[in-house]
Structure 1
């Protein structure tokens, strides 16, 4: 933000609009002056700055539905984010997060983006969020997907560019999962459960860049069952 007067103007406008966009403003610290907006904000965008931490007071934005803190230098997220019970979208991609606090109270979350961080474990608690539809965990260091993934209500799951070596068969039990991206991992063909092709709801399965040739996957008898689903969905789109 160029100067204090400019930030003050933004704050006054945000009281009316419920939106505060401080993206790409070279912020090195969270501006405490925006805390006066706790009762008003529905969207807070702090992306593309140089923030290393977020204060506990971020949990006071009780009306917040969208929080974007992507493209910063955040090493952790405060547990107080769990107080944002109306939050629907959390964008925290392109940081250096190694772990996450438990977001068990965020029952309204629909979309979570955690692309390009330092996560080594799949955050299992996200599987319990019944309204979570899209989860992006690409470009992390995750090695496995938990069995409890079957409890999720995800429609889209992006696990591209991790270090995953095996997928659980329970992944095929996700009742709403339509898109699964697992490109550029460490999967052998035998690590792809046949159930993903036969009995799952998945109609877009992206597997390029693993330890098998796509031709060998396509040669499987079960692959034709998946392709029938894929084709049927394509027909409905056009």
Structure 2
């Protein structure tokens, strides 16, 4: 029933007595009929992008409701009766008009995912226990009370104005995913390095200039994003993250790679575009399990013969560099499937390879 220009649900909705899922997103509904209370088996309700200015209190009678999505409306607060929705597990309140965090959700004991991104919230209560998505709000600081959120597994604060993370975050030892991208953080939050279950960390778009020794102890990290910071070197401490599968260091000021990168035997994806490389870093050729390498938007002119050691490589991006001719060394990469080679300033790459050297399944992207 989504995208149907509906302005209301008919009272006859009660006849669908066995309904489990109801999706009426992208309509013009502003209220719900009392008859909806008779949908006693309803477990998932999607009311996104409608005209609700007040929370429909009739939903309190839907005792089996587990998922409720009200994103893209005009809600400013939640009623006290919402505490009765004891089985609610997923609540989406993104893109509304909340300026104060709706504390009532802290009493929903089964709630495991709460999304309040794109609101006007500036502070948080200490009682939160669930996965919290609060991207693109107006939060300037994270209170030390965050240490009380010991059961949190996911925290997303992307696109706020946070300048620092209190050391007390180390007490939130169940966190597995942390997104602090596009804030105003200048010092690496060392408290995160004590989170023994942290696997995903995103610090893109901040103002970090150094990587602390503490990070090297985060051996459980699998995914690390440090793009668009102020890093001038590839830290040896990162190379001690032996389980890292994905590393993004794009759009920094890096010009060299340390030999210790050879220790990163699990690394499959390495993003280094938009840095200051003038020479292809031979140290990368020790990464035998690397599948994706992005070195676009640098100043590289040639590829060393050692690149043939990248026995698992499938995708190479060398676009916007300084190659004058096709790097013939790439023809030794039998696993390569996609190569991007468009160059800077209108220069063209001479295709100086014979037909038998072009891989059967290799997609080549040249500037025409």
User: Shorter-chain-normalised TM-score: which range?
Assistant: 0.7 to 0.9
Q: Tell me the CA shift for residue 176 of structure 1.
A: 2.6
Deviations 1:78-126 (A, max 9, x none): 3343333322223232233333222454465444444334444447666
1:97 aligns with 2:141: no
Q: 1:137 to 1:41 in 2, by over 3 A?
A: farther
Deviations 1:136-177 (A, max 9, x none): 333334444432212322221222223444444323323432
Q: Tell me the CA shift for residue 44 of structure 1.
A: 1.7
Question: Matches of 1:116 and 1:12 in 2, distance apart?
Answer: 41
**Is this contact kept in 2: 1:145–1:168, CA < 8 A?**
yes
Q: Tell me the CA shift for residue 203 of structure 1.
A: 2.2
Question: Matches of 1:22 and 1:170 in 2, distance apart?
Answer: 45
Question: Matches of 2:245 and 2:231 in 1, distance apart?
Answer: 21
Which 5+ residue runs of structure 2 have no aligned equivalent? 1-5, 11-30, 131-149, 269-288, 292-311, 313-368
TM-score by length of 2: 0.51
Q: 1:85 to 1:140 in 2, by over 3 A?
A: farther
Deviations 1:61-82 (A, max 9, x none): 3322212222223333233433
Which 5+ residue runs of structure 1 have no aligned equivalent? none
Match of 1:25 among 32, 50, 53: 50
Larger deviation, residues 51-60 vs 91-100: 51-60
Question: Matches of 1:64 and 1:126 in 2, distance apart?
Answer: 27
Question: Matches of 2:210 and 2:36 in 1, distance apart?
Answer: 48
Partner of 2:181: 138
Partner of 1:78: 102
Match of 1:184 among 213, 223, 228: 228
TM-score by length of 1: 0.74
Q: Tell me the CA shift for residue 200 of structure 1.
A: 5.0
Q: 1:166 to 1:51 in 2, by over 3 A?
A: farther
Partner of 1:205: 247
Match of 1:68 among 78, 92, 111: 92
Pick the structure with more helix per residue: 1
**Is this contact kept in 2: 1:104–1:128, CA < 8 A?**
no
RMSD over equivalenced CA pairs, Å: 3.3
How many equivalent residue pairs? 226
Match of 2:266 among 229, 233, 236: 229
1:147 aligns with 2:190: yes
Q: With a CA cutoff of 8 Å and minimum separation of 6, indicate the structure with the bigger relative contact order.
A: 1
Question: Matches of 1:156 and 1:131 in 2, distance apart?
Answer: 12
1:171 aligns with 2:215: yes
Partner of 1:41: 65
